Structure 1
Amino acid sequence: MDGGGPGAPPPRLRLASFNVNSVRQRAAHVRRFLERQRPDLLFLQETRCRAEEFPRLEFEALGYRVHAVGQPGGRNGVALLGRIPFEVVAEALPGEPEDGQARYLEVETEGGLRAGGVYLPNGNSGGAEGFAYKLRWMDRLIDLAEARLDAFLPFALLGDFNVCPTGEDLAPGALPPTDALVSPEVRARFRALLHLGLTDALRALHPHDRLYTYWDYGPAFEENRGLRIDHILLSPDLAERLSGCGVDIAPRVEPQPSDHAPVWCTLR
């Protein structure tokens, strides 16, 4: 992040998100992404380890501070790698105290930015209750976003939302219409986030491009049968600063990749 004195314009900031599908298996993929893109904040999802098992030394050697949130059994998991100062605001999404799944991490940076890392439930497992949990989780996320926006905080949500917002966000035939990632209830809740005033950063700059962030293992990547389920949502003041956004497919091309590719944005 570039510095600035009193009266200077807001500093340039690069934000990114990456579902790593096991950080211990993909630590080298993350390291190469950090070296190539140099994000100021990188949120990780599906780390699949407890906080004390997180391979932090490799990233600290690159100048990144690590904060990880895990759960027993090594499922789910979120983390933040930051090369700018930050303070942790929350390690869980409010609204359901009994929810022990590691799916949310929110921080505040030195400049007052609030950023939340999201690993939204898939909704296809666990039957009706699994889908109901996804909808409840999204309702809680809407409540949190509304509170942040009502407080006029510069606010960003980044992560794996497990939502294809429209038909342009998946390859033809990639999912059946009954899949939880494209269900009307899930898409309606994603639209509700946008209706609060959040901007889908990638769609703001690439309104109709077929850009995907997830490809199943097997031939899906080579055939580009992908999904756009990883998103960056920005409050109005941050959206005004948006100067770039994209998907870095390089980690998906590497050997033994995650099934996701990182998404990033730059704020001038």
Structure 2
Amino acid sequence: MKALKIATFNINGIRSRLPALLAWLAREQPDIVCLQELKAADQQFPREALEAAGYGCLYQGQPSWNGVAILARDSEPLEVRRGLPGMEDDQQSRYLEAAVQGVLVGCLYLPNGNPQPGPKFEYKLRWFECLIKHAQALHGSSHPTVLAGDFNVVPTDLDIYNPRSWLKDALLQPESRACFEQLLAQGWVDAVRHLYPEQRIYTFWDYFRNHWARNAGLRIDHLLLNPDLAPYLKRAGVDAWVRNEAKASDHAPVWIELGRRRQQR
């Protein structure tokens, strides 16, 4: 296995936050990056700027909303698929899959689902069920695989500053959490929680009510590793400094480092 640093980052508007993205890439130098919520059509994606920074790009944009991309340092992502099986009628750009430097990468932006109950929550659960089915096939493929992105799920109460204020939110509903548990039951490893089983770690701080300053956060950005990749997990973390920059996304990048050899647990 090649030593790699893989990150996921909900950029929340790539055009307005391109300088921040480039600054983060220059400072942290991840090898593979999954981006979500581009909020830009394909023709507006800043490919030239990212290529000048040393990153090959694969992207599926959408005007104003959604959009996902996979970046690879000093290489080109090889596209495997766009969209999930079973969601062929879906008009939203939420899933992109590519082979990158020996790893199969699934970049996803799972639907938020609010308000719930209602059509948006039903769409979230339908999308989640299709992800679970596809993930089962990926899990059994024997290829080192990571599912990385904004899952819009707070897995447990340890992953949120205070669940009482969010009890009606789609991110905490029992159905949402049950779907995430189904993924883990397949054998996927939640990288951050695996290395930090009891630590409160957040990846998202809402713009409202001073959430960042109070560290009132949620952990909704995840990297799930299949059994062929999980043994190489070495380190994981959140680049929270990015959230403190001017005009920051409400998310911070989450990353893992993979070693060349299997790690002893």
Give the TM-score normalised by structure 1.
0.93
Task: Provide structure 1 residue ranges, at least 5 long, that are not aligned to the other structure.
Answer: 1-9
Match of 1:91?
82
Q: Matches of residues 115-126 of structure 1 in structure 2 within 5 Å? A: 115-125=105-115
Secondary structure of 2:229's counterpart equals helix
Match of 1:128?
118
Match of 2:262?
none
Match of 1:103?
94
Match of 1:258?
249
1:91-128 alpha-carbon deviations (Å, 9 max, x no partner): 211212110100011001242x2110010000014851
Moved over 4 A (4+): none
1:9-64 alpha-carbon deviations (Å, 9 max, x no partner): x1101100100110001101111111111111111100000111011222111110
Q: Quote the Cα distance in structure 1 between the aligned partners of 2:101 and 2:232.
A: 18
Task: Provide structure 2 residue ranges, at least 5 long, that are not aligned to the other structure.
Answer: 260-265
Secondary structure of 1:35's counterpart equals helix
Match of 2:51?
60
1:117-142 alpha-carbon deviations (Å, 9 max, x no partner): 01000001485111011001111111
Q: Quote the Cα distance in structure 1 between the aligned partners of 2:39 and 2:58.
A: 14
Give the TM-score normalised by structure 2.
0.94
Match of 1:177?
167
Code of the aligned partner of 1:117:
C
Task: Give the length in aligned residue pairs.
Answer: 257
1:157-214 alpha-carbon deviations (Å, 9 max, x no partner): 0000000000000001464212110100110000000010100000011111111000
Match of 1:7?
none
Code of the aligned partner of 1:62:
A
Match of 1:5?
none
Secondary structure of 1:236's counterpart equals coil
Match of 1:152?
142
State the identity %.
45
CA contact (8 A) 2:11 2:17 kept: yes
